[in-house]
Structure 1
Amino acid sequence: MLKDVIHRLIDSPNNEHEPLTNFINNTFVRSTNLMASVNPATGSAWIQIPDSNKEDVNRAVEVANQAFSSWSTTSAQYRSKLLLKLADIIEENSEGLAILESRDQGKPVKLAKSTVIDEPIRAVNYVVHDPVGVAGLISPWNLPLYLAVSHLPYGLRQGLNPHLNAFWFRVSPVASTIIVSLSFKLAPALATGNTAVCKPSELTSVTTWVLMHAVKEA
């Protein structure tokens, strides 16, 4: 359960939690190399995160390409149902996520809570309903010859997350890694039948790892 993962992270003293992992093919996979994640508020390393190499990336891309053949054939309604469940799980665990986001980015917990909960939920609700209502086009419909337009999944999408998302920074200098991962990268890609490989910033990657536990739970 996501709440258990969050509590273990919160309760573990600095650098005493087991190293975080990559999430590939619905499985948490250890990376050969590790690096420290630093809490900006204290300047101290608080957890070890993957320092992924070429082999890790190639494996993730291979699996995502394989998954596309089945995921792209699911209905928009089915994909929307799963993403809405993911949004519910995030909302249910908002308090703990806010604490982790505070440690990851150094922002106040109150501010982290508002960004972790409201924006991803709002974004998910927007993107999951859009593909359901997307219609094709047949024109002109009353002639022997006609033009048909349909919308199909594109394929594997990549998401490279900066420490602060450039678009978000224009609005507010408080971008959260979970917002960037879910709102701008994962949700739109998955809702429209694509697969995705996401790489969070090495400066703020812990909540993205936690998000993968929510994905697995959903």
Structure 2
Amino acid sequence: MYIDGKWKAGNSDFAVTNPATGEVIGRVPDANEHDIEAAVAAADIAFADWKKTTAYQRSELLYRAWELMVRQKSQLAELMTREQGKPLKASLNEVQYGADFLLWFAEEAKRMYGQIIPSARENQRFLVHKSPVGVVGAITPWNYPISMITRKLAPALAAGCTVILKPAESTPLCARAMMEIFDEAGFPPGVINLLTVQNPSRVGEVFCTDPRVRKLTFTGSTQVGKELNGLAATNMKRVSMELGGHAPAIVFPDADPVHAAKGLSLVKFLNTGQACISPNRIFVHEDHAEPFIQELTSRASRLKAGNGLENGIGIGPLINELAVGKVDGQVKDAISRGAKVHTGGQRLTEKGLSGGYFYAPTVLSGVTEPMRIYREETFGPIAPVITYRSEKDVIAMANDTEYGLAAYIYSNDIGTAMRAFEALDFGIIGINDINPTSAAAPFGGLKNSGLGREGAQEGIEEYLETKLGGFAI
């Protein structure tokens, strides 16, 4: 663990495994109550001085961290592939994406502008000042184990907050590597702290109840997010929640179905489908379903599964046995209710894959509302195709979900695209675009997909309080 600028061993530890092979690749401390208290105390004490630093000082440290991260890009990517499983090319892309947040917020730190507001009274002036929230508890997921750290820590640090990071128990080695970068960059002791723990509920409870922690930022499942949000609300904590998704992708009749299948295959099977913005329901007009399914099936069937460190690997493992069981259960349920499997539909164990958690890239057609996959977030390499007849019908079907994170549109008609963009109840919508994300763009969802935004100008606002001064002169 990294607490108050020092590396600390624990009284016990737990193993970290490679999901592609099952081998143990490291061990990390299992934090206890004393470690958690030490981290909170360190962050609280450090906040008194850190909040007084200038925006330029904080910017310089973030810029140093960015330089170090870019310099170590290959090593970080290789570690991520070993720990999380994604192909090395995807890991390299994530490290660069994660570094982008450090660079963006190094500049955004200098743009925390206040206001002077005119008063109706001649002898009065209003001054609006932005100040840091305080100590931040950050909980990050395993599916993007580096970029989700920088997406939270960069704006918090830029704002003048101190941070305690609790990474996912499946990917603590990536978090440790990032702490080494922040340490080398020169952040003062206590400003950034790392707790690794096998049972995350202990840390989450402290983040939500300890009065010294003023803000919780969480990325994970909607179920856990709701529990944490409820506990935080009773203690009047500021929260940011980036939760689950069930993204629709709509291919309108004026779009090229083959082109759409190419794009959606790339985003659907990215990170083995383990992304909250992964398209989970693909709506194709009934007149164009056949060429779309044919192209999507062709591309899915050609993806090579395996250890992401090997050449030519297009899809990695799922994170654990529970994930395999969930995906396989959804596929079997869909088949039992009439869905057709065009490719995949089974766990992969041959050709050296038996030690990992591999599931074949799968394309299903004939998916209907009663099937579990129509409602549940999948988090796996399953592409369910649903046909529709009219624009009105497909918009209603797309919005018929408790989630509201991401959606995708394929259309060559600006009117159709604009109507769909305005009608879809989702926070992020890609129009002929499978990657509508950037450090410079706000990321977040509606409904049960979360609260608040990450990235962009909105990202730093999540870590700032607004203070008003009324001056009589």
Is the pair's TM-score, using the shorter chain for normalization, greater than 0.5?
A: yes
Alignment identity in percent? 31
Matched to 2:168, the amino acid is: S
Q: Is the 8 A contact 2:25 2:83 kept in 1?
A: no
| Structure with bigger gyration radius | 2
The offset of 1:196, in angstroms, is: 0.4
Q: Deviations over 1:161-195 (max 9, x none)?
A: 1223xxxxxxxxxx2x1111112x21111111000
> How does 1:65-214 map onto structure 2 within 5 Å?
65-117=44-96, 119-140=97-118, 143-164=122-143, 175=144, 177-183=145-151, 185-214=152-181
Unaligned runs of 5+ in 2: 186-473
- For 1:41 and 1:143, locate their aligned partners in 2 and report how far apart those are by CA, in whole Å: 70
Aligned length: 184
The letter for the 2-side match of 1:181 is: I
* Contact 1:87–1:120 (CA under 8 A) maintained in structure 2: no
Distance 1:214 1:38 in 2: 23
Q: 2:7 aligns to what SS in structure 1?
A: strand
State the SS of the aligned residue for 2:142: coil
**Superposition RMSD in Å:** 1.3
Q: Which fold has the larger relative contact order, with Cα–Cα distance below 8 Å and residues 6 or more apart in sequence?
A: 1
Larger strand proportion, structure 1 or 2? 2
Aligned to 1:55: 34
Contact 2:99 2:150 in 1 (8 A): no
| 1: CA distance, partners of 2:109 / 2:79 | 32
> Compared with structure 1, are the counterparts of its residues 143 and 125 closer, same or farther at alpha carbon in structure 2 (3 Å cutoff)?
farther
Question: Aligned equivalents of 1:33 and 1:132: distance in 2?
Answer: 42
SS of residue paired to 2:132 = coil
Q: Kindly state the Cα deviation for residue 198 of structure 1 after the two structures are TM-superposed.
A: 0.4
Q: CA deviation at 1:114?
A: 1.1
The TM-score with structure 1 as length reference comes to 0.81
In the alignment, the residues of structure 2 paired with residue 158 and residue 125 of structure 1 have an alpha-carbon distance, to the nearest angstrom, of 22
| Off by >4 Å, runs of 4+ in structure 1 | none
Q: Shift of residue 61 of structure 1?
A: 0.4
Q: Quick one: which amino acid aligns to residue 189 of structure 1?
A: A
Aligned partners of 2:64 and 2:105: how far apart in 1? 14
2:24 partner SS: strand
3-state SS in 2 of match to 1:152: strand
